[in-house]
Amino acid sequence: MIDLCSQESSPLLSIDAALARINAAIKPVAGSEHVALKQALGRVLSQSVYSPINSPHDRNAAMDGYAFSSNDSNRKQPFKLSLVGASWAGRPFKEQLQPGQCIRIFTGAVLPAQADSVVMQEQVYADGETIHFPANTPVQQNIREIGEDIKQGCLLCAHPKKLNAIDLGLLASAGIYELSVKRPIKIAFFSTGDELTALGQPLESGKIYDSNRYTLSGLLNDACYSVTDMGVIADNRQLLEDSLMTAAENYDVIITTGGASVGEADYVNEILDRCGEVNFWKIAIKPGKPLAFGKIGSCCFFGLPGNPVSVIVTFQHIVAPALKQLSGAPDSKPLQLTATCTSALKKVPGRQEYQRGILTQDHNGDFFVASSGQQGSNILSSMSQANCYIVLSTECQGIQAGDKVRVELIQDSKII
């Protein structure tokens, strides 16, 4: 059992130490399933995929024109060939091409075995069935060779890749229609707090709308996650305990928001400590200090703070990497770069801060970042306007306008 007071007095866990502890405490889910290619977008491969065929499957034309044998060309001089047919994409020319003959050919159409050259239609002159080729007609060009994109037996996508739209196209081009992917991880989440009001209800004094569940359902929108929204649980020790224990039996991960700090009605850590294991419950970041991680049986538990911006920052920096690891996906980091800060930023040493910023790039390609507004952990508007975090180190004592800062692009955001 962890002494909840002792972590209070000892130095806070750095984000790197917290991530290392999570990394050591969890392992990817076992189990895979077969899905149709169309259902595989965003899923993690559980086996590498190799090509059963060559692509292109046949030697074919790279453009519309005329196909002929370079043996028939008179390199420096103009020459003429008799037109004996055509090869269309999907409808090949079935006869043999004889010396002195050529065919009309279209992009993607199979080349007759005797042909090794395709010349653009614009470069020749057609006089009925006689095709006139100019002097210096290029030969042995505009042909797509068998297997030049994909060789039969070659690796198409290596396990444990998370498949994107381009991968689906690549796999389809090799005729793959079914794949083995990791099973989705089962995630349940709920909000805690007597003050929370459901959308659609009038807001009484002292109450707030529950925004965290909407943020979380968006942040958890991933094909690798099977997500259950358990709603709002009141600040009631027994109700919270029952909800956590039931969820722990049925899910791989539970995420809660609120009730994780040290207020009188904040029961989450106490329940986790009694019914499971607290790994840590505070980390040295701002916003997001009161973040709990632990386990109830084999279920991972993340107790996020209640403040809406803390939910986003802790989810993106702590929970998301953990979920990736659980789902078996390869680790990936958000883009970080150096920018000139055009705002002065206040900062007290002690915690790594993620301040919300707006990152721009000027016509010289240089990056500039400005604060997107007030930085309180309840200020969702400046979070919504931001496209990046300005990452200020634990030791940093503030930023003057003109200083260089480390900036991290927020997932799915674009540089303006």
Residues that bind ligand AMP (CB under 6 A): 191, 193, 195-196, 208, 210-212, 257-261, 263, 266, 305-308
* Number of residues lying near Mg ion (CB under 5 A): 4
Length of the chain: 416
Binding mask 237-276 for Mg ion (x = CB under 5 A): ---------------------xx-----------------
Taking a C-beta distance cutoff of 8 angstroms, is the pair 354, 291 a contact?
no
Of residues 17, 4, 2, 5, the one with CA closest to residue 284? 17
* 56 touches Mg ion by CB under 5 A: no
- Give least dist CB 288 to ligand AMP, A: 11
Closer CB to Mg ion, residue 66 or residue 267?
Answer: 267
Please choose which of ligand AMP, Mg ion, none residue 261 contacts, taking the beta carbon within 5 to 8 angstroms, the exact cut-off set by kind: ligand AMP
- Give least dist CB 247 to ligand AMP, A: 17
Of residues 311, 191, 297, the one with CA closest to residue 252? 297
- Give least dist CB 410 to ligand AMP, A: 19
Nearest-5° angle of CA 223, CA 225, CA 228?
125
> Is the omega angle on the peptide bond into residue 78 within 30 degrees of 0, that is, cis?
no
3-class SS of residue 247? helix
* 305 touches Mg ion by CB under 5 A: no
Please choose which of Mg ion, ligand AMP, none residue 131 contacts, taking the beta carbon within 5 to 8 angstroms, the exact cut-off set by kind: none
Name, in order, each residue with C-beta under 8 angstroms of 38's C-beta and a sequence gap of 6 or more: 168
Taking a C-beta distance cutoff of 8 angstroms, is the pair 292, 278 a contact?
yes
> For residue 299, what are the CA distances in angstroms to 148, 323, 335?
48, 12, 30
User: Which of 193, 276, 305, 328 contacts Mg ion by CB under 5 A?
Assistant: 193
Closer CB to Mg ion, residue 198 or residue 344?
Answer: 198
**Cα–Cα distance measured from residue 414 to residue 123, given in angstroms and rounded to the nearest whole number:** 45
- Give least dist CB 230 to ligand AMP, A: 12
Of residues 344, 355, 340, 359, the one with CA closest to residue 393? 355
Please choose which of ligand AMP, Mg ion, none residue 260 contacts, taking the beta carbon within 5 to 8 angstroms, the exact cut-off set by kind: ligand AMP
**Cα–Cα distance measured from residue 176 to residue 95, given in angstroms and rounded to the nearest whole number:** 32
**Cα–Cα distance measured from residue 231 to residue 268, given in angstroms and rounded to the nearest whole number:** 16
3-class SS of residue 37? helix
- Give least dist CB 385 to Mg ion, A: 26
Closer CB to ligand AMP, residue 56 or residue 258?
Answer: 258
- Give least dist CB 197 to ligand AMP, A: 9
* 328 touches Mg ion by CB under 5 A: no
Please choose which of Mg ion, ligand AMP, none residue 357 contacts, taking the beta carbon within 5 to 8 angstroms, the exact cut-off set by kind: none
Task: Give the other-Cβ count within 10 Å of 297's Cβ.
Answer: 12
- Give least dist CB 13 to Mg ion, A: 22
- Give least dist CB 352 to ligand AMP, A: 20
Closer CB to Mg ion, residue 259 or residue 308?
Answer: 259
Closer CB to ligand AMP, residue 269 or residue 372?
Answer: 269
3-class SS of residue 263? coil
What residues make contact with Mg ion under the rule CB under 5 A?
Answer: 193, 258-259, 306
